[in-house]
Amino acid sequence: MLGFSLLEAIELHLPPGYKIRGKLGTGATSSVYLAVGSAPSERLAVKTMILGSATDHRNDLFLREMQTLEKLDHPRIPRILGTGEAKGSLFFTMPYIDGETLRVRLHRSGPLSFRDALLVAHDIGSALDHAHGRGVVHRDVKPENIFVSNEGAYLLDFGLAVTSDPESKHRANSVSGTPTYMSPEQAAIGRSEGWRSDFYSLGLVIFEMVTGKPPFHGSAKETMKQRQVTAPPDVRTIRPEIPEEIAGIVRRTLASDPSMRYPTGGALVRAVDAALEQLDLVDDRPRHDAV
């Protein structure tokens, strides 16, 4: 493959007829490309590792994500279709999803409707329930890692995930994650961090979906300190028309004490479903992910 570009080398490993047609996005550890087959409807997403030195932690994060995704099988978590290596770069393929990140949606449209916010919470809660049941704690739930489409919402980027028994806790020796969306225990070095940390991060996302802004503001250091000493404001102090059914879900997910949050993703999803029913907001999508 001497003289081939990285993308040309990757194409040799794709199903027959598939060609890479453009870049879909780039993150801290990887880039994602669109590959199209002989028919326009034949589309794949190809995620490639950003090459670094042999000791570059980005390589470890990419490999961790690949290994984690291979353990998961849920309709709200894009599955790995194939893996490979080309010119020293690992890559894997996934189904292509037509949509955008929740961050892009919030930037473009502002707060979501109550129905749409609850549907995203349902889908991501269901994905977390599946991951936690297989011993995987995501540790980076945020709008940038949630993809929304006409079919529903998807949980992406498991590069920071840790794998352990779902009843055990991961004790962090360093702070790792996105400060704006960390739980109090995740933001503190040495504190035990269990799967309920993901529910706090999802609670911050729900808060932002219904109010248009996160509850904590300032620098990364300031926001991390705020959640250690200050309870988030009630969403209805920012947007009084938010129903109590939604405010109650946000309040419980954002409990400072992890034991006061929902015990499982399934319990969170059932609370969301109850809110949809009480508010007469119909979820008429095909259901393949009941918990």
pLDDT at 97 over 90: yes
Quick one: pLDDT at residue 53? 46
The mean pLDDT of 224-238, rounded to a whole number, is 82
Q: Quick check: is 290 in a domain?
A: no
Quick one: pLDDT at residue 188? 75
> pLDDT class for 1, splitting at 50, 70, 90?
very low
Please state the pTM of the whole predicted model. Answer: 0.89
Same domain assignment for residues 90 and 14: yes
Last residue of a domain, one of 51, 76, 95: 95
Q: Quick check: is 82 in a domain?
A: yes
Quick one: pLDDT at residue 2? 43
Domain harbouring 256, CATH code: 1.10.510.10
Same domain assignment for residues 66 and 206: no
pLDDT at 168 over 80: no
In total, how many domains does the chain have?
2
The mean pLDDT of 274-291, rounded to a whole number, is 75
Q: Which domain holds residue 28?
A: 6-95
Quick one: pLDDT at residue 49? 87
Q: Quick check: is 40 in a domain?
A: yes
Same domain assignment for residues 112 and 247: yes
Quick one: pLDDT at residue 288? 54
Same domain assignment for residues 82 and 121: no
Exactly one of 56, 116, 123, 140 is catalytic; name it: 140
The mean pLDDT of 108-120, rounded to a whole number, is 96
pLDDT at 67 over 70: yes
Segment among 28-42, 179-193, 225-239, 262-276 with least mean pLDDT? 179-193
Task: Return the residue matching tokens 């993308």.
Answer: 7
Same domain assignment for residues 52 and 121: no
Same domain assignment for residues 247 and 188: yes
Last residue of a domain, one of 71, 95, 119: 95
pLDDT at 86 over 80: yes
Same domain assignment for residues 109 and 76: no
Same domain assignment for residues 89 and 105: no
pLDDT at 223 over 80: no
Quick one: pLDDT at residue 252? 97
* Residue 42 neighbours by CB under 8 Å, 6+ apart: 17, 18, 36
Same domain assignment for residues 23 and 157: no
Quick one: pLDDT at residue 270? 97
> pLDDT class for 115, splitting at 50, 70, 90?
very high
Last residue of a domain, one of 64, 95, 126: 95
> pLDDT class for 16, splitting at 50, 70, 90?
very high
The mean pLDDT of 159-176, rounded to a whole number, is 61
Q: Quick check: is 254 in a domain?
A: yes
* Residue 193 neighbours by CB under 8 Å, 6+ apart: 137, 139, 169, 170, 171, 172, 183, 185, 186
Same domain assignment for residues 222 and 166: yes
pLDDT at 93 over 70: yes
Q: Quick check: is 286 in a domain?
A: no
pLDDT at 192 over 60: no
- Residue 140 annotated to the active site: yes
Nearest to 164 by CA among 197, 186, 131: 131
DSSP state of 74: B
The mean pLDDT of 162-184, rounded to a whole number, is 66
The mean pLDDT of 206-220, rounded to a whole number, is 87
Q: Quick check: is 288 in a domain?
A: no
> pLDDT class for 286, splitting at 50, 70, 90?
low
Same domain assignment for residues 48 and 116: no
Q: Quick check: is 147 in a domain?
A: yes
Q: Quick check: is 13 in a domain?
A: yes
pLDDT at 215 over 90: no
> pLDDT class for 194, splitting at 50, 70, 90?
confident
Q: DSSP letters along 124-164, please?
A: HHHHHHHHHHTTEE----SGGGEEEETTEEEE---TT-EE-
pLDDT at 42 over 90: yes
Same domain assignment for residues 61 and 73: yes
**2, 44, 79, 87, 204 from 91: Cα distances, Å:** 19, 12, 13, 11, 31
- Which helix (H) or strand (E) segment holds residue 193: the answer is strand 192-193
